[in-house]
């Protein structure tokens, strides 16, 4: 049986057609897009009230624990210097986005982020996968590390604040 020229049989291998812009090399981008769309379904609800940062100083032990979490999970995209990857992943260093609302960082860490954001006057449009496997203490620690690194304003989260934000905004 001969198929018409515009009909193709199913194939387990990716096939590139002249009129198609999707290739095997597009697959990682499509996966990231699918993750991003799923994260979008759980966007931060309007009117959610963020918990305030704890007013006390961060401890050296908490910052060290946070650095360990950062080096295990976050550095691949945001880099060891917090500068991110130009055009791909936003910087955490001297971040105006983080400074404007540190509490939203709990949501972003635990639920991911999709779509365009502007950080330090530069646009980024990528997906951050959720890190929901982190405990409330690990979320508090890693964000405390970020808040106290690379020229950021300082401050710290407690596990209780991370838990409240995670539960309140989900």
What is the chain's mean pLDDT, rounded?
A: 77
Supply the pLDDT for residue 168: 73
Q: Single out the residue of 168, 40, 167, 42 nearest to residue 116, CA to CA.
A: 40
CATH number at residue 111: 1.10.760.10
Q: Is residue 20 part of a domain?
A: no
Domain annotation covers residue 71: no
Over residues 67-103, the pLDDT tens digits come to: 999 999 999 999 999 999 998 999 999 999 999 999 9
- Report yes or no on 140 lying in a domain: yes
Q: Is the pLDDT of residue 143 over 50?
A: yes
106 pLDDT higher than 60 = yes
Which residue segment(s) compose the domain that 142 sits in? 79-168
Q: What is the mean pLDDT of residues 123-132?
A: 94
pLDDT tens digits for range 4-47: 444 444 434 444 444 444 444 544 444 443 343 333 333 334 44
In a domain? residue 148: yes
In a domain, 139, yes or no: yes
Helix, strand and coil percent figures for the chain, each rounded to 5: 40, 10, 50
Q: Which residue has the tokens 């990716």?
A: 14
Whole-number pLDDT of residue 151: 94
- Judge if pTM exceeds 0.85: no
The number of distinct structural domains making up the chain is 1
Residue 13 domain-assigned? Answer: no
**pLDDT score of 55:** 55
Q: Is the dihedral of CA 94, 50, 89, 148 positive or negative?
A: positive
Identify the pLDDT of residue 56: 64
pLDDT score for 144: 96
Q: How many CA atoms, within 13 angstroms, populate the side-chain half-sphere of residue 77?
A: 13
In a domain, 74, yes or no: no
Q: How many Å apart are CA 59 and CA 77, to the nearest integer? A: 26
148 by DSSP, 3-state: which?
coil
Q: How far apart, in whole angstroms, are the C-alpha atoms of residue 114 and residue 87?
A: 15
DSSP H helices in 81-153: 96-100, 104-111, 136-147
């Amino acid at each position: 049986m001969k198929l018409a020229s515009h009909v193709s049989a199913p194939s387990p291998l990716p096939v590139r057609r002249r009129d198609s812009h999707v290739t095997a090399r597009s697959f990682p981008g499509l996966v990231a897009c699918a993750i991003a769309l799923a994260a979008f379904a759980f966007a931060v609800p309007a009117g959610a009230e963020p918990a305030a940062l704890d007013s006390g100083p961060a401890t050296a032990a908490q910052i060290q624990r946070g650095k360990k979490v950062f080096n295990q999970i976050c550095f691949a995209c945001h880099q060891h210097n917090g500068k991110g990857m130009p055009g791909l992943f936003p910087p955490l260093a001297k971040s105006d986005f983080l400074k404007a609302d540190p509490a939203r960082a709990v949501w972003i860490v635990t639920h991911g982020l999709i779509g365009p954001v502007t950080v330090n006057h530069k646009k980024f449009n990528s997906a951050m996968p959720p890190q929901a496997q982190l405990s409330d203490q690990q979320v508090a620690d890693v964000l405390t590390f970020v808040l106290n690194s690379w020229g950021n304003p300082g401050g710290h989260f407690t596990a209780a604040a991370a838990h409240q934000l995670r539960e309140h905004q989900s």
